[in-house]
A and B are shown apart, each in its own frame.
Chain A
Amino acid sequence: MYREIKILRQHGIQYVRDLRNQPVSDLFRGRPVISGDITAAEIEKVSSLCPVGAIDKDSGSIDLGLCVFCRECEFCLKEKIRFTNDYRIAASRREDLVIRPGIEAPLRLNVEVIRKEIRRIYRHSLKLRQVSAGGDNSCEMELNASGNVNFDLGRHGIEFTASPRHADGIVITGPVSANMAAALRLTYEAVPDPKVIILVGTDAISGGMYAGSPAVDRSFIEEHHIDLYVPGNPAHPLTFINGILDLLGKK
């Protein structure tokens, strides 16, 4: 008993009080800022270097749905590209993930496109079923971490369930391997209506490094309306948490 108390005292208070404004280290790779005066030659240089073609050859914008946050473009062109540690980068529309040169404003969810029933029904309680479909286990671990003693997403009534029958939506990680495509569909079908779909991590949003691999089958993603895109490699728990809180219209 005394030993337990000693351990608890050493443990102290670990939970993150303010999930909206928790500071993270400077080097964390979050929302990029691209200088407005990036030249055509510079764009050409970084876009040909980017391993996933996330940098548009003409405009020089970075698509966070493709970007795997390797930061190689910044190392190559430090004066013009800078990844800030702003982790609030989730979006409700795919095109909102494209960051244009000269834009320094934070990324906020487009409320117009959020389906009305989501906020009406799930504002106070959202149960999610996670499906890993070719994920590399880093996004999965970050989703688990969202519920741990530090982030404690459960305080907002948001939790992962064991069965899709008890869930209000699914959270997909991974590029959707062809071998998981059927199981993903079955899981989705088992969730009662209305249901939410959330994509977590660059792999899920665009296929990431695996886009174009013959072992990947993206048809499920292409056929369905996606309610929330949470970029990252892996998506940080705070990115996921803030994305969901914004989706549900919570403070």
Chain B
Amino acid sequence: MNELFREISSNPFTVSLDIIPVLDYEQFCDQAARMLKDESDHCVAYYAVEMQGSLKLICCIANDRDHILRVFSSMLPSGKSTVRSLSKEVPQLHIYEREIYENHSVVFEGHPWPKPVRYPHNRASKASVMDNYPFYRIEGEELHEVGVGPVHAGVIEPGHFRFICNGEKVLHLEIQLGYQHRGVERLLAETRSGIWRCVLCDNIVGDTSVGYALSYARLIESLAGIQPSRAVQIERCIGLELERIAVHIGDTAALCGDVAYQLGQVVCEALRTEIINTTQFWCGNRFGKGLVRPGGTNYKMTAVVADRILSVLKDVGLRFASVSERIYSLQSVLARFEDIGQVTRQQALSTGAVGMAARTCGIRRDIRWSHPDQYYRDYPFEPVVLENGDVLARGQLRVKEVSESINLISGLISDWRNQPDEHSVPDYNCNLSPDSFALSLTEGWRGEICHSAITDGSGNIVHYKVKDPSFHNWMALALAVRNQEISDFPVCNKSFNLSYCGNDL
């Protein structure tokens, strides 16, 4: 019998399209369901592409324990078709099936929740519009609904939250997204300019610019079969960890702000400023835009930059340690965080949670450990895992990850100093492998970012797919607020800090 999937042990990877096994849909479902029963497996990509008059379904499942990826596919007739849904059996697939339904009008029979994901401009049904989102309703005299957004009270991105409450208690939260949709994937597939695609990837999710640019760069490097110098590889990891440190500290400030602990807020805001100004010192942009490019970099790290990073991290590390220790020992803070917004391990597994949302529920899921790329391969990295799944755990995870990343960067810099000084410059117009499927995974500060692409016979990118960790984790947030006071929503929301633009694309 033919093998039913292609097994790959590297991240990123490129495979020729015709070696991805094509299963009939029933077999495809059975295999996906069988694999995803294993807790170490989770689905990193599942989508449909129009190809030669039919619809190709591509699925990639990552196994964290064995550090492998498995790809397989199926074909459906193009246009409207009805097939069986896997979502009831494997809930983590619910969002993928919804996306395929929205983009290609494939009806997944038995899907409990066949709702729009983001109202893309090229959606299959124009009858589906922002204004008529089919919210879940519960009838009852005691119940009321609270609608918030798309424009929120703070300076943040838009999204709509609809709560069903019994008094102050939230029974159900439904999150409607799509307001930020800009047509990113279509633009990435339509342009032929490599430089344009890079710059766009800096600007998909601005708070994770380095993570996104790195996912793109690694995808292109894999398709082109090139590698930047080892020094540049190390520099990229430093950039990614600096981004993580900055956001984690900023989130700690936001959490303090929500519970009116001003000292914590103000001190953490100032510490975040130190970090992003260091990134600016390195590359001229506080968010690291432009730092990562395929094949090399325009902003080679210098010894001066390295020294600056080390001295800032030493200072910030000490100050953050003392303020975070204070924050998480204050009764008034703990009372607002402890056992609030809890997500159980089972819920996290079934929603396919990734990144921090998974690691705070006792799930060891971190691409830097499970599918390490570049320098992470050589570094004995241990993910931080906490058990309680509440706001407190998500806050404390950030504190631990900041100190972990600071250690990581000092190690990286000592290694960087021993590298030969070969500068690799960006390569925007490299030849990409034709008729291929490529995928890259990066552990950004929120969780795993997945980019994948398909090329045609001449090596042009004809399909591009981006997946933010928020794509899964929004559901975890909706579950976290069930049976909580509605006034606890802000801290729950901040503790996840999910991306709207990353979901909406």
Contacts and interface: CB of A to CB of B under 8 A. Distances in A.
A35 interface: no
A11 B298 contact: no
Interface in A83-120: 83
A97 to B, nearest CB: 19
A148 B206 contact: no
Contacts of B322: 3, 6-7, 10
Interface in A177-234: 177-180, 182-183, 187, 203, 208-210, 213-216, 233-234
Contacts of A7: 263, 267, 319, 322-323, 326
A75 B298 contact: yes
25 contacts: A7-B322, A8-B263, A11-B270, A27-B280, A27-B283, A49-B195, A51-B196, A69-B285, A69-B290, A70-B199, A71-B284, A131-B158, A132-B155, A137-B499, A139-B206, A140-B155, A141-B287, A178-B181, A179-B181, A203-B203, A209-B187, A210-B187, A215-B181, A216-B182, A236-B286
A177 B455 CA distance: 28
A210 B183 contact: yes
B181 A25 contact: no
Interface in B175-189: 178-183, 186-187
A248 interface: no
Nearest to B250: A141
B239 interface: no
Contacts of A71: 284, 290, 298
A45 B153 CA distance: 46
B155 A4 contact: no
Contacts of A4: 263, 326
B319 A24 contact: no
Interface residues of B, number: 63
Given A138-B287, A148-B273, 16 more contacts: A7-B323, A68-B203, A69-B289, A75-B298, A129-B151, A131-B158, A140-B156, A140-B157, A145-B269, A149-B270, A162-B153, A163-B153, A164-B151, A187-B151, A210-B182, A214-B122
A129 B186 CA distance: 31
A125 interface: no
B266 A11 contact: yes
Nearest to A140: B155
Contacts of B143: none
B180 A134 contact: yes
B97 interface: no
A187 B158 CA distance: 12
A167 to B, nearest CB: 11
A7 B267 CA distance: 8
Interface in B273-318: 273, 277, 280-287, 289-290, 298-299, 318
A83 B285 CA distance: 12
Contact of A149 (B205, B269, B500): B269
B464 interface: no
Contacts of B69: none
B179 A180 contact: yes
A34 interface: no
Contacts of B282: 27
A213 B151 contact: no
B119 interface: yes
B150 interface: yes
A140 B499 CA distance: 12
A69 B153 CA distance: 30
Given A27-B283, A28-B280, A68-B199, A215 B182 contact: yes
A6 B326 CA distance: 11
Interface of A: 3-4, 6-8, 10-11, 14, 24-25, 27-29, 49, 51-52, 68-72, 75, 83, 129-145, 148-150, 160, 162-164, 174-175, 177-180, 182-183, 187, 203, 208-210, 213-216, 233-234, 236
Interface in B142-199: 150-151, 153-158, 178-183, 186-187, 193, 195-196, 199
Contacts of A148: 266, 269-270, 273
B155 A174 contact: no
Interface in B459-505: 499-501, 504
A4 B258 CA distance: 19
Nearest to A184: B151
A243 B306 CA distance: 34
Given A131-B151, A187-B151, A179 B199 contact: no
Interface in B252-279: 263, 266-267, 269-270, 273, 277
B432 interface: no
A179 B180 contact: yes
A153 to B, nearest CB: 12
A236 B263 CA distance: 25
B121 interface: yes
A130 B155 CA distance: 6
B120 interface: yes
B130 interface: yes
Given A11-B270, A25-B284, A137-B207, A51 B155 contact: no
A233 B280 CA distance: 13
A25 B501 contact: no
Given A51-B196, A160-B155, A214-B183, A183 B150 contact: yes
